[in-house]
Chain A
Amino acid sequence: MNEPFRPYAAGSQPSLDTPDYRSTAKRHPLRPRHPMPQTITETSGPRFSPRLFPATTDLTTSTNGKQALGERITVAGRVLDEDGRPVPHTMIEVWQAGASGRYDHPGDQHDAPLDPNFHGDGRVYTDAEGNYSFLTIRPGAYPWPNHKNAWRPTHIHFSFFGPAFATRLITQMYFPGDPLLPLDPIFNGVPDPVARDRLIAQFDIGLTQPDYALGYRFDVVLRGRGATPMEG
């Protein structure tokens, strides 16, 4: 039976059981996911309006108007579905560490300076063609306790909702040429190398604003609809 939203392609998604990422050891279910037909609960989803959830597309300026430290970057891209159709007017949430590689979060006790002018959260919407853009600073790499001398590659967290509960996507955007990428169990938890490399943004000189900010492009694909959508 064709489902309203098609299944994930083999190898495109990380396994919940990823031994190199230690925290998955006691958190991955042992039984396979129970198959079920998608219903209205899965094919419908929340709508977010900029009235209630205002866009915050400049992460580099604090609420008191002061500038965050670090290398300014514009991150822009397009959100499409698996048929190449734009996903319009959908909310995207982003969060990240500051330039020194520390999150403005009480749980992050990494011995790196916190920038009082950078909190690291943003919210943007795609336009009618699925395009989004925001201004931030390039985050720093940071150590984590997964294994000896473990460092997360530089990344920005992204949250997408798309049109339905079934299209939820939480991912991380990485930066090209990062020497930590081959060593990172979270990035390498994606089995298919092509799918994995699509998590790496591309430097874009066309998006780069002269004398102001480097540009990185990060395009994202949400689950597409099945070939013959079912009613209800």
Chain B
Amino acid sequence: MPVATANQTIGPYWHIIEDKALADLTRFGAAGEKIVLTGRIVDGDGAPCSAACVEIWQSDPPASDDFPGWGRANTDDNGEFRLTTLKPGPVAGRGNVQQAPHIAICILSRGLMTHLVTRAYFRGEALNETDPLLTSIEDPAHRGTLIAVPEGDGVWRLDIRLQGDGETVFLDV
């Protein structure tokens, strides 16, 4: 049996399938703490990555008819993405360990041959100190690239650097 099919870049024209409604995971009226997850994606020169596709998936709150758990947004000319969702709670990990609240992020773009995966955690969560993934990242500066910071009014920012100084930790899942 053949192995998994090769990925290829999403390219610059994926907006042909874009639906702006997908950037709001609360559009079906789900109850919970509404938050905005925003950030700026930049390349190795610090230049904005526009027209990238940012997809999120969260296992908490569990997906339902009210809450898809999945969303998609583009980045604008400044490299900024913006998604509205519900703040996740702790998530079961392997064994008896709990994972800190987090949102999985999948980044696709022109210039990316395959998707990049990372996570957004939330600054100030007590469980961040014992989260199995966060604690597996030794360098605190690297670990910090996964932790979104509050900007007030329910807005959380996670800037993403694809390459170089401050490079985001990307995950081998």
Residues of A within 8 A of B (CB): 8-9, 12-16, 18, 21, 23-42, 44-47, 80, 82-84, 93, 95, 97, 103-105, 107-108, 119-121, 123, 157, 159, 165-166, 168-172, 186-187, 189-190, 194-196, 198-199, 220-224, 230-232
Residues of B within 8 A of A12 (CB): 3-4, 6
B17 within 8 A of A: yes
- Chain B proximity of A40: nearest CB distance (Å): 5
- Chain A proximity of B109: nearest CB distance (Å): 7
- Give the distance in Å from the alpha carbon of A214 to the alpha carbon of B168 in the complex: 46
Which residue of the partner chain, among B3, B47, B93, contacts A9 with CB atoms under 8 Å?
B3
Across the A-B interface, the 8 shortest Cβ-Cβ residue pairs: A23-B111, A46-B70, A33-B172, A9-B3, A14-B113, A27-B111, A26-B44, A26-B43
Which residue of the partner chain, among B3, B11, B63, contacts A157 with CB atoms under 8 Å?
B11
58-73 of chain B: CB within 8 A of chain A: 58-59, 63, 68-70
Q: A16-B113, A23-B110, A95-B17 are in contact. Are A195 and B6 (CB under 8 A)?
A: yes
Q: A46-B57, A169-B5, A186-B9 are in contact. Are A41 and B106 (CB under 8 A)?
A: no
Q: Is B51 within 8 A of A29, CB to CB? A: no
- Give the distance in Å from the alpha carbon of A12 to the alpha carbon of B92 in the complex: 32
B130 within 8 A of A: no
Which residue of the partner chain, among A23, A32, A39, A80, contacts B91 with CB atoms under 8 Å?
A39
Residues of A within 8 A of B31 (CB): none
Q: Is B114 within 8 A of A14, CB to CB? A: yes
Total chain B interface residues with beta-carbon distance under 8 A: 64
Q: Is A36 within 8 A of B92, CB to CB? A: no
Residues of B within 8 A of A (CB): 1-17, 43-45, 47, 49, 51, 55, 57-59, 63, 68-70, 91-94, 99, 102, 104, 106, 108-117, 119, 132-133, 136-137, 162-164, 167-173
Q: Is A165 within 8 A of B1, CB to CB? A: no
Residues of A within 8 A of B112 (CB): 16, 24, 27-28
Residues of A within 8 A of B173 (CB): 36, 38, 42, 165-166
- Chain B proximity of A170: nearest CB distance (Å): 5
Q: A47-B63, A220-B5 are in contact. Are A30 and B167 (CB under 8 A)?
A: yes
Residues of A within 8 A of B70 (CB): 45-46
Which residue of the partner chain, among B51, B104, B164, B171, contacts A34 with CB atoms under 8 Å?
B171
Q: Is B104 within 8 A of A165, CB to CB? A: yes
Q: A26-B45, A39-B99 are in contact. Are A13 and B163 (CB under 8 A)?
A: no
- Chain A proximity of B13: nearest CB distance (Å): 4
Q: Is A198 within 8 A of B2, CB to CB? A: yes
- Chain A proximity of B48: nearest CB distance (Å): 12
Which residue of the partner chain, among B5, B14, B104, B162, contacts A95 with CB atoms under 8 Å?
B14
Q: A169-B4, A186-B9 are in contact. Are A104 and B16 (CB under 8 A)?
A: yes
30 A–B contacts, CB within 8 A, in A order: A9-B4, A12-B4, A13-B4, A14-B7, A14-B113, A16-B112, A24-B113, A26-B43, A26-B47, A29-B116, A32-B172, A33-B170, A34-B137, A34-B169, A39-B92, A39-B99, A41-B57, A80-B1, A104-B16, A105-B13, A105-B16, A107-B12, A107-B13, A108-B13, A119-B16, A157-B10, A168-B55, A168-B115, A170-B10, A222-B4
